[in-house]
Amino acid sequence: MSKGETNIIVVMRKGAMARQIANVIARVEQMGCQTYISEGEEHTTIGVVGNGRPLNREQIELMDGVERTVPILRPFRLASREFHPQDTVVPINGITIGGEQLIVMAGPCAIESREQLMETARAVKAAGAHVLRGGAFKPRSSPYSFQGLGEDGLKLLAQAREETGLPVVTEVMDPDTVPLVTTYADILQIGARNMQNYSLLHAVGQAQRPVLLKRGLMSTIEELLMAAEYILSHGNDRIILCERGIRTFEPYTRNTLDISAVPLIKQLSHLPVIVDPSHATGKWELVEPVSRAAVAAGADGLEIEVHPNPEEALSDGAQSLKPARFAALMESLRLIAKAVGRRM
């Protein structure tokens, strides 16, 4: 953050009047800053985001109703717990993510056919999953690999939701298709490779849907929170973060799940965080123990790949669970959830 930047939190006195709050806002906006109000149980706080010019904190501290100002050292603000001390709970079609209940999103990596999707949807619903996942637009490292069914996939997803009642999450890859995907999906997923695609973050920041933001495989926790900051600063505060493994030198697993990121993000931010053990490990045998670890570490949920015939999957078969194993995993997670004071 360059030295001239202005990012402070103004903490108003307990019982500060609406007029005093409005005056503070008017003053800092006059200085060219943006403001974000957060009304807590005791204190109202005003997040002030500057535009590079220095800001005189003393001037503000002299205003009526102001208790003190706090400089913000971390480069993210709206995403920070300092700015928003309470946990954010994201409501999605009757369920919520970030509260006491753990949320499991499950389904195939790529939607391949109606049969494949429906069979999986019924199976994960029966096992207790809360959200159906499935990719219609697939970012693939090779231009010759299966790129997804596109809108046909989205339609199948909507049908699966209708039949099972499960809300659906699917990836959106560019700003232009945000409106289309929003028509069908309950949650918009930003994939790891697009975590710093700022045009896309801008677009989903203006969409009327919760966003599942996956950590880039090359991104620090701070960069993940900065990407969330982009979405928040464009007006969308229904964000779910997802740890899905980072790239390291270890070759046995596809990526290295950064399990410490879960409690660390909960400490730094108010946003809910889930874990994707399928992409993190790349091996279905590791999905179960790693899912248990994620819940034990405090994750708010999981996103897991399930496929009726992993050996025939067009994408990521090696890391997909069969329905029966997924059902067994759900049983084992119930025990861990209980041990950490959560429920499934």
Task: Please identify, using beta-carbon distances, which residue of 13 and 282 lies nearer to a second copy.
Answer: 282
Residue 343 tokens, joined? 């429920």
Task: Please identify, using beta-carbon distances, which residue of 75 and 128 lies nearer to a second copy.
Answer: 75
What minimum distance in Å lies between the beta carbon of 142 and a second copy?
5
What minimum distance in Å lies between the beta carbon of 227 and a second copy?
8
Asked whether the beta carbons of 304 and 131 are under 8 A apart, the reply is no
Helices 261-268 and 284-297: angle between axes, nearest 10 degrees: 40
Residues 6 or more apart from 314 whose CB is under 8 A from it?
110, 112, 146
What minimum distance in Å lies between the beta carbon of 179 and a second copy?
13
Task: Please identify, using beta-carbon distances, which residue of 210 and 216 lies nearer to a second copy.
Answer: 216
What minimum distance in Å lies between the beta carbon of 38 and a second copy?
18
Give the Cβ contact number of residue 67 at 10 Å.
14
Asked whether the beta carbons of 22 and 74 are under 8 A apart, the reply is no
Task: Please identify, using beta-carbon distances, which residue of 44 and 197 lies nearer to a second copy.
Answer: 197
Residue 173 tokens, joined? 């890859």
What minimum distance in Å lies between the beta carbon of 133 and a second copy?
20
What minimum distance in Å lies between the beta carbon of 280 and a second copy?
7
Torsional sign, CA 303, 134, 174, 203: negative
What is the DSSP code string of 136-169? SS---SSTTS----THHHHHHHHHHHHHH---EE
Element (H, E) at 76: none
Task: Please identify, using beta-carbon distances, which residue of 11 and 226 lies nearer to a second copy.
Answer: 226
Task: Please identify, using beta-carbon distances, which residue of 24 and 294 lies nearer to a second copy.
Answer: 294
